Structure 1
C-alpha cells in the first residue's frame, strides 16, 4: 500500500517531455534562480555531460565546464522544477559510459569519439 502511494506521487512529479541526452554531449542548462527579493532569474550552465544516473524521480546528470582554467562540476536532477530547459549544443558518441577521467586530465586533452576528436 505504501509503495502505491509513492508511485502515484512520483507519477505526478515526473516530467513527460524527457530530454534525449547522453554522455559526451555539450549542453546548456537553463536554471530558474530566486534572489533575495523573490525575483525569478534564469542562469545558464553549459558544459559536457560526464555522468547520467537513471533512477525514476531521482534521475540526475553531472555536467562539467571549465572557467578560467578551473573545472566546475554541477549535479542536476532532470525532473526538478528549477530546470527550465536543456539545450543540446553538440552531440557526440563516446566510448565510455562515465567520463570521470576528464577530471584528472588537463582540459585541453582530446576525447576520442567515433568519427572525430573533440577538443575540450
Structure 2
C-alpha cells in the first residue's frame, strides 16, 4: 500500500502524448561541479525524433529520442517521470506508421501519416 502511494505522488501530470515519429525537445537538469568544488545546476536541451516508447505514462515509462549530432547518431533514453526532466515539449507532431523506428539507425526513411 505504501509503495503505490509513493508512486502516485511522484507521477507528473503535465506529460504530453508522445508517439514514435514526433520531434520533441527534452529539457534535462544537469549538475556541474566547478574547479572550486561548487555545484552548479543548468538545463540541457536534447532535441530529436522519438523512435520508441515503453511503459506508457506509468511510473516506469521511458521515451527513446534520436538525433544526428556532427554526422553521428545519438540516442538517449529518458524516464518520463524523472525529477531531472524539467519538461518535454512536442515540436512537431507527425506520428509514424510503425511503433518502433529502429530502422532509422541504418539510414531508413520514416513514413509519416498525413
Choose from 6, 25, 29 the match for 2:22. 25
- Higher RCO (C-alpha under 8 Å, 6+ residues apart): 2
* Number of residue pairs the alignment of both structures matches: 109
Show the 5 A alignment for 1:17-56: 17-36=14-33, 37-54=38-55, 56=58
How far apart are the structure 1 equivalents of 2:109 and 2:2? 47
Question: Could you tell me the TM-score, scaled by structure 2's length?
Answer: 0.89
> What displacement does 1:9 show?
0.8
> What displacement does 1:87 show?
1.4
Q: Which residue of 1 aligns with 2:87?
A: 85
In structure 2, the residue corresponding to 1:110 is in which secondary structure?
Answer: coil
Question: Could you tell me the TM-score, scaled by structure 1's length?
Answer: 0.85
> What displacement does 1:28 show?
0.7
Q: Which residue of 1 aligns with 2:9?
A: 12
Q: Which residue of 2 aligns with 1:118?
A: none
How far apart are the structure 2 equivalents of 1:46 and 1:28? 4
In structure 1, list runs of 5 or more residues that go unmatched: 116-120
Structural RMSD (CA): 1.2
Q: Deviations over 1:67-117 (max 9, x none)?
A: 111100001000001111111111112110011111122xxx5311122xx
